[in-house]
Amino acid sequence: RTISALAGGGWNVEIADEIDSTNTALLTRAGNGCPGGLALFAEVQTAGRGRRGRRWQARVGESLTFSALWRFEGGIGRLSGLSLAVGVAIVRALAHFGLPVALKWPNDVLMDGRKLAGILIELAGDSLGPTAVVIGIGINLTPPAVVDQPVTGTRSIRPELGRNAIAGRLLAELGDVLDLFAREGFDALRDEWQRLFAWQGQAIAVHQPDGNIVHGIAIGVDATGALRVRTASGDIVVHAGDVSLRMA
Is 228 catalytic? The answer is: no
Is 51 catalytic? The answer is: yes
> Which is nearer to ligand BTN, 44 or 236 (by Cβ)?
44
Q: Give the range of 47-55, 72-80, 163-171, 192-200 binding ligand BTN by CB under 6 A.
A: 47-55
Helix (H, G, I), strand (E, B) or coil at 122: strand
- How many residues bind ligand BTN (CB under 6 A)? The answer is 20
User: What DSSP designation does 184 have?
Assistant: H
Q: x/- site string to ligand BTN, residues 55 to 94, per CB under 6 A? A: -x--------xxx---------------------------
Q: Does 118 bind ligand BTN (CB under 6 A)?
A: yes
The residue type at 169:
R
Contacts of 232 (CB under 8 A, 6+ apart): 216
d(CA 40, CA 42): 7
Q: Kindly tell me the burial class for residue 134, based on how many C-beta atoms sit within 10 Å of its own C-beta (0-12, 13-18, 19 or more).
A: buried
Q: Does 50 bind ligand BTN (CB under 6 A)?
A: yes
Catalytic pick from 29, 92, 104, 115?
115
> Which is nearer to ligand BTN, 153 or 216 (by Cβ)?
153
Q: Does 135 bind ligand BTN (CB under 6 A)?
A: no
Residue 140 pairs with which residues in a beta bridge?
Answer: 63
Residue 243's region, left for phi above 0, alpha for psi from -120 to 50, else beta, is beta
Which residues form the interface with ligand BTN (CB under 6 A)? Answer: 21-23, 45, 48-51, 54, 56, 65-67, 108, 118-120, 136-138
